[in-house]
Amino acid sequence: METGAKPAPSPGEKGPSSKVVPRPVANQTWVHSCCSRAKLQAALADPTISAIEADIMMPAPSSSGRAMPIMAHPSWRSKHAPQSDLDFATFIDRCIEDGKRHLKLDFKQAAAVEPCLQLLAKRWHELQGNRQAIWLNADVLPGPNARGKVEIAPDTFLPLCRRYCPHAFLSLGWRVGPIGPEEAYSQSDIAAMAKVCGDYSLDGGTLVFAASLRLSERALPVVASVLTLVPGSQLLLWTGFGEAPVRSELHERVSKQLDELEVGPRVGFDISVAQSVLGSATSDAIDCTFFWSRWTRYIFCGDLCCGSSYSLLNAQTGERQSLLSTPPTPAATPEHKLPVPSTPGTDVNGIIRQ
């Protein structure tokens, strides 16, 4: 944002007629995985919430053969979506009627993308009139410990986004596994994402790259290099649904290193931070799995990575398969996002999880 420029209108504040909703202001307050009527109602009733994230899947097959995508997060117990009392059409209706929250739509299945984007396209003038920004999110490339075929490939997701919602923001990530032989993103992961952006001529000013905080911390210069390869883009470091919280010291350490790399203002954090002794102990236990992961890789792959927690991995091809996998466990404490330090003229979201 240039000095002296007017800030983007808040959701619900009418601005000049345009199909392009300006990038939202910093320090959004989010509610995550808003996948039920009760949670959506609570979010819309909370005046502190400025943005809503929700996951989208197709419901389990039915005898009718026709189904509207639903708001649901994948379960490790089944490949089918869990039961949900909130379908996508109702979700959009209520959010547009409210008109005060930005929306991030996290697609979990390829079959859900086109019907949702078709409906969004029909309602775009209403979203634009409310100044509600839309992020379209998908893990479009394989990543650490999840080197198999992705559910939503870029050659499916990006053409559909461009066709139906060309003015939406894009949030692109790598699919990852919780435990396995890889401890960090590799240079080939970053190069593959930059290539996707180049192949589709994506504007960096509309892009956010989403990466796991724990898998980024050990190769931070590598992960941050995507911001150089795709000028104008931003990076969001996250902890996942059901993932144990991280210590505040980890967040501070990563923030400091990003500032040293001169990309701090372009990086946001969407993380769950330990708020108790129990939470800190859980975080320590999870982080210890990276130690055992090194030994697993040594035994099965003959490639032991030694050194401090700040060291980069030795050259990884990024082609090894996950050796271990564990189901997610519910977080023991509410998830809170630490605000991202911002400077005048920057536009990175600081997020608080409710």
Q: Are 169 and 205 in contact (CB under 8 A)?
A: no
CA–CA dist 308, 302 (Å, integer) = 19
Q: What is the pLDDT of residue 303?
A: 39
Q: Average pLDDT in the 115-143 region?
A: 96
Residue-wise pLDDT for 58-92, tens only, equals: 998 765 566 889 999 887 666 666 789 999 999 99
pLDDT of residue 282: 60
Which residue, among 168, 178, 172, has the nearest Cα to 140 in the 3D structure? 172
Res 333 pLDDT > 80: no
d(CA 125, CA 121): 8
Average pLDDT of the chain, as a whole number: 77
Residue 107: the pLDDT is: 97
For residue 245, name the pLDDT band (cuts at 50, 70, 90). Answer: confident
The predicted structure's pLDDT at residue 27: 57
Residue 348 has pLDDT above 60, yes or no: no
Rounded Cα gap, residues 295 and 200, in angstroms: 40
> Would you call 90 helix, strand, or coil by DSSP?
helix
Mean pLDDT of 107-136: 96
Q: What is the mean pLDDT of residues 245-252?
A: 88
pLDDT of residue 202: 97
Q: How confident is the model over 13-45, as pLDDT tens digits?
A: 544 445 567 767 545 777 888 999 999 999 999
Q: Is the pLDDT of residue 345 over 70?
A: no
Assess whether pLDDT exceeds 80 at residue 149.
yes
How much is the pLDDT for 25?
54
pLDDT of the residue at 182: 83
Short-list 161, 178, 323, 316, CA closest to 240:
178
Asked if the model's pLDDT at residue 4 lies above 60, the reply is no
CB atoms within 10 A of CB 325: 12
Q: What is the mean pLDDT of residues 291-313?
A: 39
pLDDT given at position 33: 87
pLDDT digits over 181-235, tens only?
888 999 999 999 999 999 999 999 999 999 999 899 989 999 999 999 999 999 9
Q: What distance in Å separates the CA atoms of residue 253 and residue 247, rounded to the nearest whole number? A: 10
Q: Give the residue with greater pLDDT, 1 vs 254.
A: 254
pLDDT at 72: 93
Q: Give residues with Cβ within 8 angstroms of 73, minimum separation 6.
A: 33, 35, 55, 57, 82, 108, 241
